[in-house]
Homo-oligomer: A and B are copies of this chain.
Amino acid sequence: METIQIGMLGLGTVGSGVLQMIQHNEDKVVNVTGRQLNVKRVLVNHPERHQDVAENIELTTSVEDVINDDEIQIVLELIGGIHPAKEYIEAALRNHKNVVTANKDLLATYGPELVKLAHDHHCDLMYEASVAGGIPILRTITNSFAADKITEVKGIVNGTTNYILTQMSQQGWSYDQALKAAQQLGFAEADPTNDVTGKDAAYKMVILSQFAFGTQLAVDDFAVTGIDHLNGFDVQQAGKFGYVIKLVGIAQVIDDGVFVEVAPTLVPADHPLATINNEYNAVMVTGEAVGDTLFYGPGAGGLPTANSVLSDIISVTKNLVLKTNGNFFNNYQRQYIPAAPRDVVYPYFLSIMMPDVPGQMLKLTQIMTEIDASFSQITQTEADGLAHVVIITHEMTAQQLADFKARVAKDSSINLGAAYKVLK
């Protein structure tokens, strides 16, 4: 039986998972593809630390050993980050190697360029594992919504922040307490910046938007708000109104535009996204024909991510058998126009601190009236001589919200602590 030789760049958690799965599930892979998979060479920084696998695999500290090996047909890039991953992938593609990667930063930043390079060299470039770890969302969008018009893709695409938010909501913890717990359990890194500022989720929304709408946008094209300034009080208040706060990435077609945002968002307790807890991820895809669908699974972790990598390897292998490599992973393309702020309509959760004196609520309602917006639910509580007013508004446009913020900013007695979208 023919063997497909694989070269690997990096041997961390995901890489070890890939090795383990290839060994454990050899029978099934042979059954499905008619080929055997073998990891021949692995690029590592410290070969002496990987002696457990060195018996069957050639460890090397030189990337050339991997990408210049004529036997190797598939290169897995699992080192992460932009550089030198980008240069390695480019070199591999130029050497006519098919490439599988889990690198969301790279794909969200240089995706179109790398996709074109792969296509020009008749090679596959697949990156299912770059979004939502174990959830096969990219392939599903490509294969199963190909004839439908996707109108919205939204979801919880960062496990670290979802773990923190779940603990804040269920245990009543502060952000700092929940972050510390997440770090102790390995759900958050020592430097959690990329996760808690929403940047990681933003990368994933860039890739999801590309698959859902055929658009090519950059993380700088849309607003990204993390959870690092989220207040435990607001989480509890949202709960009393019947909502949970989740870090939701949303990409929504509005007329001819697309509205994209990553932000803390109020999700009704009976909404499918409200039950996605801890490190799990979920992506909802809404199609004009199919309606609402949801895909749920582990958002990270060595083996779940390795499974997505393996599903890409098997797709590449099938293409090798069929001699059909070099087709686009996703070949749907469309121009991106940002939706106008007057067309983006949501209810909002507003958390406001102001002096507990007569006339303050009047000022607030006057501002709301001036921008032609109205309240749906209000709670006022008192703390330290200040009134803490929490409001759920009726639907208002992003333009109205901007006007509201501008007017409130002019009044030093009204302190707007948070303004979050509310999902229906």
Contact = CB atoms under 8 A, between A and B. Distances in A.
Given A214-B31, A333-B31, A25 B149 contact: yes
Contacts of A147: 21-22, 25, 28-29, 307, 310-311, 313-314
A281 to B, nearest CB: 10
Contacts of A315: 143
Interface in A22-75: 22, 24-25, 28-29, 31-33
A289 to B, nearest CB: 4
A292 interface: yes
A291 B297 contact: yes
Give how many copies assemble into the complex: 2
A290 B275 contact: no
A298 to B, nearest CB: 5
A315 B146 CA distance: 9
Interface residues of A, number: 57
Interface in A279-330: 287-298, 301, 303-304, 306-308, 310-311, 313-315, 322, 324, 327
A17 interface: yes
A346 interface: no
Given A294-B296, A296-B296, A140 B148 contact: no
Interface string A79-110: 00000000000000000000000000000000
Nearest to A301: B291
A364 to B, nearest CB: 36
A311 B144 contact: yes
Contacts of A29: 146-147
Given A24-B149, A331-B32, A143 B290 contact: no
Contact of A298 (B292, B295, B322, B331): B292
A122 interface: no
A139 to B, nearest CB: 6
A296 B310 contact: no
Contacts of A24: 149, 288
A226 interface: no
A305 to B, nearest CB: 9
A310 B143 contact: no
Nearest to A310: B147
Contacts of A298: 290-293
A136 interface: yes
A332 interface: yes
Contact of A145 (B148, B291, B292, B307): B307
The 6 closest A-B pairs by CB, nearest first: A136-B144, A147-B310, A293-B297, A294-B296, A289-B303, A134-B290
Interface of A: 17, 21-22, 24-25, 28-29, 31-33, 128, 134-136, 139-140, 143-149, 214, 270, 272, 275, 287-298, 301, 303-304, 306-308, 310-311, 313-315, 322, 324, 327, 331-334
23 contacts: A21-B147, A21-B289, A22-B147, A25-B148, A25-B149, A28-B332, A29-B147, A31-B334, A32-B146, A128-B144, A139-B144, A140-B144, A144-B308, A147-B307, A147-B310, A289-B310, A291-B298, A291-B301, A291-B303, A292-B298, A294-B296, A295-B295, A324-B324
